[in-house]
Structure 1
């Protein structure tokens, strides 16, 4: 018996078997990458939780030659994937300070060589078990060449002898690295030469193996010491037809690809990049992938749902991608998931606001303060301005009345015209495209809900909104689903559920807040600057939270910032390093600025607080408006004392000052 919610607990590739075939969903972007045929090395980029390890392990031998795959082409032998994640603690011992500079490099290359040889031996075993379309490929009777036998001092020229010897050599290496003064130095070998030697030997074992080649995937490349990265870059710079070296690392974590000489890896010429966060950022593609993952997990938990076009067996092979990308398939899959994780539209939430007693009182207070600001409280009452049939207009009117730039008589007259029965809204100033409601409703709703912090904010509920909060991180999406299903069904299994599988929006909203709080606290554990990053994220959240508290909502939904281009050179080196670290750990995302409103603002990128943290601060997850900060203001947020930050916060955001410009020129 499996609890439905627990189907979403396995969010890390480390917790899954080496054979990921039934766990991996081929993403839509596979149509646009050429890792399948490109002979060049590739670096796979992405933040924590975006699926780097899952991605590269899909291309490694255990999955490529999975017995669960019904037909494997012989062409796969031309690029057998070998997965290698260095033991960072062990690698740290292979340092120049401990072993000497030259020996440390040789020892690391030796460690990589032995690890990849062991993985290659396992790959041959996987190949033998594969359902090759041209029939089985028995290989146990083959013999290794004289060079490899001599180099490794094998007892016999067999793969079993190779495996035994390599395991012994790894044990010897570990003992020597930990006790270099007490034990004899090993005879070092190079992975860049020994793996091609093995490939050459295997190529003669069968006519079907003449094109055999290995692709080594080095995971967590950023955790290697600079000297060790140079050893890997040497192999990238000088590839062999039997060996290609790929690397995976966190985005922005590695900027220098120096080899052991004065040369450097040249992007495009030596190395291509696949940025998983970038290719997953496409909203429609992330939604489809997330929906398929959701249904796959429910299927594994034996849950019942109605989606005839969904076939779990078609998720794992690229040949089925065309079927999954059809408009009809996408429509059916998204429909099914939306029924389980329903979303309430902004107009629907507006109707809830005017029918729910606490929220209606909050709206009355909102309108009352606007009337007082406009000195019109004698002429109108808040109840005169709350329309049960046009609640969106009433909610937005609250913000407009709190703006000194608006004249109450004119705006109330427009409101009264908008709320007349049968009114054509196409040209109505409140309801037309680009009108008051279109531009302000979401910001006003976030403002209203923020005033009731104990009330679940249903603006975070719904499948699409879960995708917006999590994208491009499927791990975050699964955490949201797990918590929502746990709140809705507790520890129930699928066979005990009664009625339709559906999670109430309020429970979804509570789950979003819980996950947001938990992941926010996790920032403390991110890298060596976790405590600082937590404080930075908290301060940025408080800035955006303060903007959301402004009754005027004159700049609604502010949730990201940019640094004035002309001022960036004055940013302190420590702040620059912390920005880089925040991007490495996906606390901040850097995105292209596409909404400059003036000629003088020439900044080219925005820094966005990870949207998964927005429920914690009750702020918008939509990228709508930003604040442009000067270098000194960024330094205060990132580095200075709490007292200085509080002073800056007051100069940046005055809740009832509706005419303040976006950029402060005070104090800093």
Structure 2
């Protein structure tokens, strides 16, 4: 029996069966505004870890394009029959000059690609034969290959039906030689840029209905290939064929050189164009809609109950229904439904919770008391008089303002008392002054951080899940899986009475569990996982220290920048680790839009992935940053713990910090 949460475990394309992903793929909103693969040029698909690159390109492969559940397929799809290849990096890692020789290493890799693409090409004919074309079925039959291709492949039987078995034998032959080059016969190499277009030409010649038959090949995880092998692929991009166009997918920042086998390089705009999935998903509101639809699709697969009449899973997978899904009525209903299942508390309601809950109220009282001592008012003012059930937001912000060494306003207390005395003008003074808008969220994170065993409901709710996960759909599904697992255990949808709804405490507990796990998983990221884990821990401690400041003079600090004028002074190792952190989405880079003065030098913000916010009890909102000089950044990224501790104390005054609720001042 399938539990409600189980479908959310299918959060990687690798976990899904080979072949069609048509019924699993949700056409994203950005399909309305970009040309996907309409021209004959090559495309590279970029994105961070977990943004859906593999799912995206497998949707355009023949298994999904000609899925038997897809109706009215246009015959024009035969012009761009998709082939998919994710090279076996372990096996390809043996095809190196040091092992096979400089020329044979490249020839062997091209041969490997040719055999795998031809296997998929044979399977594509089966997909086409079962497809539901708008003008009726197409009888592919069993085409005969040309004498030229048969000679290239050493075939005795020229029918496609016998080719696939031959290809398996040739792959075994290649593997035997690659692993034992001195003791096995050298295969008769072929180039994929020659045999795959020729295969397409032979199929096109077999029937008038297939006259425009051509392939587009998707090479996944391009960044994991050896540099010599990337050159082979870049050769194909630089010199496309009318019957074969090569597309690639790789992580952002992971590939910086697109050199061909000659001195030429693949040039953006001329030889290929880019689809940046992170950038496309960042358009306001689009990630939320996609995440909401994904949530309802997974809940449907788990037989969960919800109230959303306009939502129909069958409409998610075909671009023809995108206009309906982008309509206001549809969008509003889908988002409303998911927000009802995963509700959140507003900052104002959390503020009311603070003044009503004994433990949180005690934390606030201590904060106000220390502020009164700092201002020399502890003998004149009772801290309880500054906690109002009718003015909870003002009370909480007052706790931070009193802890600031500079006197904010000599009439601050009298104006607070006046606001409390006038319930009709609730929080008026603090709202007009911007104190609540600028400080309330930071104060709430500060108060909850002192109670680390208390579920922090600042992280609960569909919209907050989106803010922590965006643009990573894998992280979003992990949050949903943990939430539903805690709420409903192993229950199936049929065992749950009524519609689904999960309380905020359960959601907050799930967010913390997922964040903790993903933090530990950093260790497994690439060849520098241990250093990335250390860097993340150090950054998290810095932001955690800012959050523990009672003054909250710069609330919600959760990202940093390095002065561009000073960036050249970063060590080579620090630059390498920064790049690795961006490749693995531990850090995101964004243009600085909040320079405090016109004369500030343009900088880039480096944002700690918000999914780690619950682990450190810090804000997930991109609000304020700390600007580091190169020496400090270098210490943070790659110097000793002792040096890092000195920098931490320089950045955040220990005297302004509340002690951690669980003394969690260790790196991990």
TM-score normalised by structure 2 residue count: 0.97
What is the CA-CA distance between 1:31 and the residue it aligns to?
1.3
Aligned to 1:59: 60
- Name the CA distance, whole Å, in 2 between partners of 1:347 and 1:65: 51
- Name the CA distance, whole Å, in 2 between partners of 1:592 and 1:344: 31
Aligned to 2:520: 521
Aligned to 2:279: 278
Q: Decide whether the 8 Å contact of 1:480 with 1:511 is kept in 2.
A: yes
Aligned to 2:3: 3
- Name the CA distance, whole Å, in 2 between partners of 1:70 and 1:190: 36
What is the CA-CA distance between 1:495 and the residue it aligns to?
1.4
What is the CA-CA distance between 1:255 and the residue it aligns to?
0.3
- Closer/same/farther in 2, CA of residues 517 and 657 from structure 1, 3 Å limit: closer
What is the CA-CA distance between 1:415 and the residue it aligns to?
1.3
Q: Decide whether the 8 Å contact of 1:547 with 1:655 is kept in 2.
A: no
Aligned to 2:78: 77
Aligned to 1:88: 89
What is the CA-CA distance between 1:81 and the residue it aligns to?
0.4
Aligned to 1:662: none
- Name the CA distance, whole Å, in 1 between partners of 2:209 and 2:483: 51
Aligned to 1:665: none
Q: Decide whether the 8 Å contact of 2:37 with 2:43 is kept in 1.
A: no
Which secondary structure does the structure 2 equivalent of 1:215 belong to?
Answer: strand
Cα deviation code 1:315-368 (max 9, x no counterpart):
000000000000110000000000000010000000000110000001111111
Aligned to 2:252: 251
What is the CA-CA distance between 1:379 and the residue it aligns to?
1.6
1:494 aligns with 2:488: no
**Counterparts of residues 173-188 of structure 1 (less than 5 Å):** 173-188=174-189
- Name the CA distance, whole Å, in 2 between partners of 1:408 and 1:359: 27
- Name the CA distance, whole Å, in 1 between partners of 2:200 and 2:543: 57
1:197 aligns with 2:166: no
**Counterparts of residues 293-332 of structure 1 (less than 5 Å):** 293-332=294-333
Aligned to 1:107: 108
What is the CA-CA distance between 1:406 and the residue it aligns to?
2.2
- Name the CA distance, whole Å, in 2 between partners of 1:499 and 1:132: 41
Bigger CA drift: 478-487 or 138-147? Answer: 138-147
- Name the CA distance, whole Å, in 2 between partners of 1:285 and 1:656: 43
Aligned to 1:269: 270
- Name the CA distance, whole Å, in 2 between partners of 1:478 and 1:517: 15
What is the CA-CA distance between 1:656 and the residue it aligns to?
4.3
- Name the CA distance, whole Å, in 2 between partners of 1:58 and 1:399: 51
Which secondary structure does the structure 2 equivalent of 1:296 belong to?
Answer: helix
What is the CA-CA distance between 1:605 and the residue it aligns to?
1.0
Cα deviation code 1:4-63 (max 9, x no counterpart):
111211111011122111100000011122123121100011111110000000000000
Aligned to 1:625: 624
**Counterparts of residues 119-198 of structure 1 (less than 5 Å):** 119-198=120-199
Which secondary structure does the structure 1 equivalent of 2:370 belong to?
Answer: helix
- Name the CA distance, whole Å, in 1 between partners of 2:212 and 2:494: 51
- Name the CA distance, whole Å, in 1 between partners of 2:93 and 2:516: 34
Aligned to 1:533: 532
Q: Decide whether the 8 Å contact of 2:546 with 2:557 is kept in 1.
A: yes
- Name the CA distance, whole Å, in 2 between partners of 1:178 and 1:103: 13
What is the CA-CA distance between 1:422 and the residue it aligns to?
4.5
What is the CA-CA distance between 1:408 and the residue it aligns to?
6.5
Which secondary structure does the structure 1 equivalent of 2:44 belong to?
Answer: strand
Which secondary structure does the structure 2 equivalent of 1:83 belong to?
Answer: strand
What is the CA-CA distance between 1:409 and the residue it aligns to?
4.2
Bigger CA drift: 311-320 or 15-24? Answer: 15-24
Aligned to 2:664: none
- Name the CA distance, whole Å, in 1 between partners of 2:544 and 2:650: 15
- Name the CA distance, whole Å, in 1 between partners of 2:598 and 2:289: 38
Which consecutive residues of structure 1, in runs of 5 or more, have no partner in the other structure? 659-668
Q: Decide whether the 8 Å contact of 1:342 with 1:461 is kept in 2.
A: yes
What is the CA-CA distance between 1:407 and the residue it aligns to?
4.7
- Name the CA distance, whole Å, in 1 between partners of 2:500 and 2:507: 13
TM-score normalised by structure 1 residue count: 0.97
Q: Considering only aligned residues, what root-mean-square deviation do their CA atoms show, in Å?
A: 1.3
Cα deviation code 1:97-144 (max 9, x no counterpart):
001000100010011011101110001111111111111111224321
Q: Which runs of 4+ in 1 moved over 2 A?
A: 406-409, 417-426, 655-658
- Name the CA distance, whole Å, in 2 between partners of 1:408 and 1:150: 89
- Name the CA distance, whole Å, in 2 between partners of 1:655 and 1:397: 21
What is the CA-CA distance between 1:224 and the residue it aligns to?
0.4
- Closer/same/farther in 2, CA of residues 564 and 407 from structure 1, 3 Å limit: closer
Q: Decide whether the 8 Å contact of 1:67 with 1:130 is kept in 2.
A: yes
**Counterparts of residues 22-61 of structure 1 (less than 5 Å):** 22-61=23-62
Aligned to 1:399: 400
